[in-house]
């Protein structure tokens, strides 16, 4: 059976997913949505056959999978629409799930399935394997070129630490840049206990994430040096690739890792 996919957000990640879906022949696009209709008009020029632009409430009933790659502001609506239909929902803007206990109650009571891809980091398998009470420290240190951050930091000329707090505060201050912090906190010991440092460094060309885990099972350090997405330097290309991998392996008979 060919699964039907609806995509919300036609930025760099959304367009990447559309290309993979069309190339694969394993899935069918049922509908797309973007708040900026001009993006849809550009996107449509690349297609051999039209795909409808619809608000998510009007996505066809036979849409099997909803994929959000728009913004943290879109997350709650996409999650509720997809899960209320008993469908699978894949979220890219994971920061949109933090500090919303009522949304988590809805998720846990729904008949659908929420998938959170690994985005731009590694080490989630380790964090999930260790009992939460055994994790003593979980720290993310992110190093990015100022151009990939907000305009407030665009003129930085030398390395500087611009943030040091927890994951919850990091997502509030950098909602478009630090979804990895939200993901780590959900997989591990929560946003308040997950420490985050952000360094703006004009001399780096990659988005560098270093995850440190101190636990009763052992101590672990994972460093990821990701190339920025060509069409959106605020994101890593690996983020888009991880979403596609989650989708592509959904029907696999073999599960590797956690």
DSSP assignment string, the chain: -PEEEEEE--SHHHHHHHHHHHHHSSEEEEEEE-S-HHHHHHHHTT-SS---B--GGGS-TT--EEEE-S-HHHHHHHHHHHHHTT-EEEES-GGGGTT-HHHHHHHHHSSSEEE---TT---HHHHHHS-GGGEEEEEEEEEE-GGGS-GGGTT--S-EEEEEEEHHHHHHH-TTT-HHHHHHHHHTT-TTTEEEEEEE-TT--SEEEEEEEEESS-EEEEEEEEPEETTEEEEEHHHHHHHHHHHHTTT-S-----
Tell me the pLDDT tens digit for each residue of 90-122. 999 999 999 999 999 999 999 999 999 998 899
Question: Which position among 209, 229, 241, 243 bears the catalytic label?
Answer: 209
Residues of the chain within CATH 3.40.50.720 domain(s) are 3-115
Catalytic residue status for 249: no
Query: pLDDT, tens digit, for every residue of 180-234?
Result: 999 999 999 999 999 999 999 999 989 999 999 999 999 999 999 998 888 777 7
Domain with CATH 3.30.360.10 in the chain: 124-232
Q: What does the pLDDT look like over 30-84, one tens digit per residue?
A: 999 999 988 988 888 888 788 999 999 999 999 999 999 999 999 999 999 999 9
CB contact at 8 A, 196 and 166: yes
Record the pTM.
Answer: 0.93
Which homologous superfamily does the CATH classification assign to the domain defined by 124-232? Dihydrodipicolinate Reductase; domain 2 (3.30.360.10)
Top-level CATH class of 3-115?
alpha beta
Q: What is the pLDDT of residues 151-164, one digit of tens each?
A: 888 889 999 999 99
């Amino acid at each position: 059976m060919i699964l039907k996919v609806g995509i919300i957000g036609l930025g760099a990640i959304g367009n990447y997913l559309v290309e993979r879906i069309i190339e694969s022949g394993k899935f069918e696009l049922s509908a797309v949505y973007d708040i900026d209709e001009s993006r849809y008009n550009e996107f449509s020029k690349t297609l051999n056959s039209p795909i409808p632009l619809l608000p998510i409430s009007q996505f066809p009933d036979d849409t099997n999978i909803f994929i959000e790659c728009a913004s943290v502001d879109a997350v709650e609506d996409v999650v509720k629409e997809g899960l209320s239909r008993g469908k699978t929902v894949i979220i890219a803007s994971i920061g949109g799930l933090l500090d919303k206990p009522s949304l988590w109650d809805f998720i846990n009571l729904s008949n659908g399935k929420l998938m959170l891809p690994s985005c731009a980091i590694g080490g989630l398998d380790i964090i999930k394997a260790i009992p939460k009470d055994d994790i003593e420290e979980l720290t993310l240190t992110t190093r990015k070129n100022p151009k990939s951050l907000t305009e407030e930091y665009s003129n930085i000329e030398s390395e500087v630490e611009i943030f040091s707090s927890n994951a919850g505060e990091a997502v509030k201050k950098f909602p478009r840049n630090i979804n990895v912090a939200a993901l780590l906190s959900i997989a591990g010991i929560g946003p308040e206990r997950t420490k985050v440092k952000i360094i703006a460094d004009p001399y780096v060309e990659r988005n560098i994430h270093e995850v440190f885990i101190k636990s009763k099972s052992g101590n672990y350090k994972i460093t990821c040096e990701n190339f920025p997405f060509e069409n959106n330097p605020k994101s890593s290309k690996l983020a888009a690739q991880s979403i596609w991998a989650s989708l592509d392996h959904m029907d696999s008979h073999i599960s590797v890792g956690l």
